[in-house]
Structure 1
Amino acid sequence: EMYRGDMATYFAERLDGFSISGLVRSYGNRYYRKPVAVGDIHWREPISVEMFKYAQSLTDKPVKGMLTGPYTMMDWSFNEHYPNREALAMALAEAIHQEAVELEQAGAKYIQIDEPAVSTRPEELEIAIKAMGVVTNGLKAHTLTHICYGDFEKIYPRMLDIPVDQIDLEMANSHYDLLDTFRKAPFTKAIGLGVVDVHSHVLESVDEVADGIRRTLEVIPAERIFVDPDCGLKTRTVEEAKDKMRVVVKAANRVKKELQLCPRISSSTHGAIRRARTRRASATARRTSSSRSGQWRRTRVGRSKPSTSPASPVSRSSSRMAAC
């Protein structure tokens, strides 16, 4: 994010069909150069893949691919070419889909398609849903979108139909008010739970962030909660950003310890566990074959298979968090 300048202009500069205008006020004293759609929008070449690869090379943990969504890019651009806003959004969706495919092929297991503008025009939510369907179509990665700072009561629960696996929301800045809304109509997707205010220089305490997570657990189960900042940390200094992230990690770890939760087992580890158990079961059956009947062996092997019941450690490990 720190390298991109504006999140819409960065991508527009690298797509065919856009020119870039002069400075336009965004909010407060922040300005950006607004894109102008002047021709057919087309994806030209990978935009974010090299940066993703570099970031991923620095860690063994998964790094998200980060894209700006088609509805937001449409809303934050001037349209001098397409007949209407929906047509521009759908053209952008095709281009952004291609970038998402490139990220997935580069190894991205999580792809975030930011749509901060979705909450500002409730009457156009259907356009956003339709466009996102094009972006995420066929992707195997875990997909998520970020929506922030709007009147969610006008788009909820319909926004749950946005075709992504997870929706990331600012919660700290709004004092977790959305939890009351979720009590009335359950939040059925995974949630990116914003727990620190990125528009404040004040550093939250671990206690208050942990309390926000606990409050959310009353409404949404742990396996569907991903804890993160409210929004991008670009408006904070590097040290402020690091300090806020340290608080997020400490608070999340504290609550996980309280609940005796541990990180989920990866699918590859999950498979290895199953294979090891099957091998052990087969070996046991072979060793006892001389003294037991064939029927006993079949029963023994059957019992050794991992249970698929809700209480099974293996089945629990397939969710985001598993009981230790």
Structure 2
Amino acid sequence: MKKLLPTSTVGSLPKPAWLAPPEKLWSPWKLEGDHLLEGKQDALRISLHEQQLAGVDIISDGEQTRQHFVTTFIEHLSGVDFENRKIVKIRDRYDASVPVVIDEIARQKAVFVDDAKFLRTQTDKPIKWALPGPMTMVDTLYDNHYKSREKLAWEFAKVLNEEARELQDAGVDIIQFDEPAFNVFFEEVNDWGMATLERAIEGVECETGVHICYGYGIKANNDWKKTLGSEWRQYEEILPRIQNSTIDMVSLECHGSRVPFNLIELVRGKKVMVGAIDVATNIIETPEEVADTLRKALEFVDVENLYPCTNCGMAPLSRNVARDKLSALSAGAEIIRKEFGI
């Protein structure tokens, strides 16, 4: 019998300090060449071990082999210049130095497939692998070639689809597309964002998910959240589109946020990764707090479709904090399982 309330992380976990300086995004590697390759594999082993110790049911790679959840995928594509960067405003919130699209986009070789194959040999638990979604990729670079966000998104969808199919063949059970941009550019989601995401999963037969959050716990995101008022209803704009899509599951930020739980009703029937861990604070949730978030969600999602999760990635947190938060997530899910007698 399949385990009910299987827990997972959204994606990133803190890297060991010997691999990259901790608690920051776009953290540079401390190793190079063969040492870097070996170090990344060691970090994958550690990440797997810590997830298992914390009782996590669906294992992720912790994004140990990538610097950033979007740009690491982009840097493996041809047609993108990483040397002569530009400053752009990401998600209409903060400035970042990003690569520039200078020619046709193409995927010359697999990006994460070898990493996925390696992780598959290390565990027989289900594996979830995160890829950036087309719209969020478009929003994380400067386009000097296509001159159209939509055209570029379709090109990204094509290469993402190639990668997703190979990840599936490598033994990945769930492929999750990260689309925080869905929470910001509602008109574009409706015009082409959802359509390009559907293109990215075309022909993919393992489970697929989309992760939509309010961002990492960095200052620019936290400041933005303060402007959103007493209720965060962004999901209301996009969940109906997801409900009508072929995506199997959706990941939502629920704990420590002002998202009304009843919005989950808009995706009734889909699997929902309910964010029950706040990644924007170092305070460790109690198992009971996690359970309380899950109980609130269970009013709007059937128990067999509820997947307890973190709100977002935890790369900017310390390893100890991330570890304790994962343990709380597992313990909170176990409280609910006992309430259901399972």
The TM tier, using the shorter chain, reads 0.7 to 0.9
Which of 136, 147, 163 aligns to 2:201? It is: 136
Once the two structures are superposed, residues 43-97 of structure 1 have per-residue CA deviations (whole angstroms, 9 ceiling, x without a partner) of 1111011222222222220111221111110122211111411100000000010
Q: Give the match's secondary structure for 1:100.
A: helix
Once the two structures are superposed, residues 264-291 of structure 1 have per-residue CA deviations (whole angstroms, 9 ceiling, x without a partner) of xxxxxxxxxxxxxxxxxxxxxxxxxxxx
Tell me if structure 1 keeps the 8 A contact 2:88–2:142. Answer: no
Tell me if structure 1 keeps the 8 A contact 2:90–2:140. Answer: no
Tell me if structure 2 keeps the 8 A contact 1:128–1:162. Answer: no
Unaligned runs of 5+ in 1: 262-324
Tell me if structure 2 keeps the 8 A contact 1:193–1:230. Answer: yes
Tell me if structure 1 keeps the 8 A contact 2:116–2:171. Answer: no
Matches of 1:15 and 1:141, distance apart in 2 = 24
Q: Does 1:174 align with 2:257?
A: yes
1:90 corresponding residue in structure 2:
154
**Structure 1 residue 31: deviation in Å?**
6.8
Q: Does 1:117 align with 2:181?
A: yes
Unaligned runs of 5+ in 2: 1-62, 215-231
2:334 corresponding residue in structure 1:
253
The range that moved more, 29-38 or 232-241, is: 29-38
Matches of 2:263 and 2:172, distance apart in 1 = 33
Once the two structures are superposed, residues 160-209 of structure 1 have per-residue CA deviations (whole angstroms, 9 ceiling, x without a partner) of 2343100111111315x3312245x4533110110000111110111111
Letter aligned with residue 178 of structure 1: P
- RMSD (CA atoms): 2.1
Q: Give the match's secondary structure for 1:155.
A: helix
Q: Give the match's secondary structure for 2:250.
A: strand
Which of 282, 286, 289 aligns to 1:208? It is: 289
Matches of 1:58 and 1:156, distance apart in 2 = 35
Q: Give the match's secondary structure for 1:223.
A: helix
Which of 68, 83, 92 aligns to 1:6? It is: 68
Structure scoring higher RCO (CA < 8 A, sep ≥ 6) equals 2
Matches of 1:69 and 1:57, distance apart in 2 = 27
| Superposition TM-score, scaled by structure 1 size | 0.74
Tell me if structure 2 keeps the 8 A contact 1:6–1:32. Answer: no
Between structure 1 and structure 2, the one with the greater Rg is 1
* Structure 1 pair 55–173 and aligned structure 2 pair: CA distance change class (3 A): farther
Matches of 1:15 and 1:217, distance apart in 2 = 41
Once the two structures are superposed, residues 130-156 of structure 1 have per-residue CA deviations (whole angstroms, 9 ceiling, x without a partner) of 111111111110000101127223334
* Structure 1 pair 124–31 and aligned structure 2 pair: CA distance change class (3 A): closer
Once the two structures are superposed, residues 224-243 of structure 1 have per-residue CA deviations (whole angstroms, 9 ceiling, x without a partner) of 11111000011111111111
Which of 226, 230, 233 aligns to 2:311? It is: 230
Matches of 2:281 and 2:204, distance apart in 1 = 36
Q: Give the match's secondary structure for 2:284.
A: coil
Letter aligned with residue 246 of structure 1: S
| Superposition TM-score, scaled by structure 2 size | 0.71
Matches of 2:146 and 2:249, distance apart in 1 = 31
Q: Higher helix fraction: Structure 1 or Structure 2?
A: 1
Matches of 1:100 and 1:195, distance apart in 2 = 27
Matches of 2:118 and 2:188, distance apart in 1 = 36
**Structure 1 residue 212: deviation in Å?**
0.9
Which of 145, 161, 171 aligns to 1:81? It is: 145
**Structure 1 residue 10: deviation in Å?**
0.6
The 5 Å alignment of 1:27-42 reads 32-42=96-106
State the aligned residue count. 258
Q: Share of identical aligned residues, percent?
A: 31
Q: Give the match's secondary structure for 1:88.
A: helix
Matches of 1:31 and 1:51, distance apart in 2 = 30
Q: Give the match's secondary structure for 2:252.
A: strand
Matches of 2:309 and 2:267, distance apart in 1 = 21
Tell me if structure 1 keeps the 8 A contact 2:86–2:100. Answer: no
Which of 235, 238, 243 aligns to 1:152? It is: 235
Matches of 1:65 and 1:22, distance apart in 2 = 29
The 5 Å alignment of 1:89-108 reads 89-108=153-172
* Structure 1 pair 34–161 and aligned structure 2 pair: CA distance change class (3 A): farther
**Structure 1 residue 32: deviation in Å?**
4.7
